[in-house]
Amino acid sequence: MSPVRFLLHVGLLAASGGACSGKSAPPPAPPAPAKEAFARAREHFLAEDSVRAAEELRRAVELAPDWAEYRIALGKLLYTLCSVRFSTATYDRSCLEQAIAELERACTLDPRSAEAAYWTGRAFERVPDVPAARARLEAALAIQPDHGPALKELGLLAANEGDAERAKEYLLRARELLPKDNEVHFQIGMLLESEDRLEEAKAAFLRAAELDPAHPGPLTRLVMVHQRLGDVDAAARANEELTRCKEFGKRLTQATQRYESNRRDSSACLDVAVLYDEVGMSTTARGWAERALRLDGNNAAAKELLRKLGGGASPGGGEFTDGGAR
């Protein structure tokens, strides 16, 4: 999947408010200074200053320790910040432990929060602590049966453990809720291929490749499926696409690494946007172009790309996370 998976699709930067649910009485509304700190955190996050955003979120938590929303926001941001290097599985263990502590506390404060349970499960996946991750993801699903991201993660966990039937059950339900999630289609294709349901697997891989032309996984499997079906020409075409995809992936990695080295560089954001536009990933390209324009309101190239993509600069958005990066 693309380096910045956007993941993740649960809004957290909405205006503060919303008391914890459940049978017990909700805590008092956060004091004004806590709300102000949360608002500043949002501003810093949108300006690509995650360190200052984390400082303000910690302040909000200190001022309103029983307000679950602030702890969820802090936990999600720490979850993002624990990544040490782009496109690696190396994490800052201390930062990850802090994220889990905040998210677990949020689960205690609001046991009916599917969002808190889901992100706690995601954090445990990184430890990795599969039983704890599964328990929290299942809790999120029990609270909200149509929680697509939780279904997806449970499907991936089951697939990694070799439980194909359970994985397929989760992922087919996730596909109904997340029809544009390329990874869901890809994993379903893998399961179907393992059952020798090659035509169905081919359809799943084609859809995954269509949704994310920058991901070589579906194309790699398409080559194999076409070969197994005896379609030599189709296999050759898929292989050509795979070669182009890998070359594009190198360029995308270089552009994203440049951005990672300075997250406040508007031109670096725009470079990533242009690459995604090149392969027709308009929604992802628009998000990067909007980010570039937030960093530099005078970035004429970003404005032009947004006009081309059919959108102007959005006033904000984001989730205190890079979209659920894995």
Write down the CATH number for the domain with range 197-264: 1.25.40
Give pTM, 2 decimals.
Answer: 0.85
Element (H, E) at 201: helix 198-211
- pLDDT per residue of the chain (326 residues) written in tens, 0 to 9: 333 333 333 343 433 333 333 455 677 899 999 999 999 999 999 888 999 999 999 999 999 999 999 999 999 999 999 876 555 556 789 999 999 999 999 999 999 999 999 999 999 999 999 999 999 999 999 999 999 999 999 999 999 999 999 999 999 999 999 999 999 999 999 999 999 999 999 999 999 999 999 999 999 999 999 999 999 999 999 999 999 999 999 999 999 999 988 889 999 999 999 999 999 999 999 999 999 999 999 999 999 999 999 854 444 445 677 654 55
User: Residue 108, class by beta-carbon neighbours within 10 Å (0-12 exposed, 13-18 middle, 19+ buried)?
Assistant: exposed
**Collapsed DSSP state (helix, strand, coil) of residue 83:** strand
Q: Please report where in the chains the tokens 């806590």 appear, as a residue.
A: 34
**Collapsed DSSP state (helix, strand, coil) of residue 252:** helix
pLDDT 10s digits, 259-303? 988 889 999 999 999 999 999 999 999 999 999 999 999 999 999
Per-residue CA distances from 233 to 1, 138, 197, 242, 276 (Å): 26, 44, 20, 14, 28
Rounded-to-integer distance, Cα 60 and Cα 314, Å: 26
Question: What ranges do the domains of the chain cover?
Answer: 197-264
| Token duo for residue 250 | 């190198």
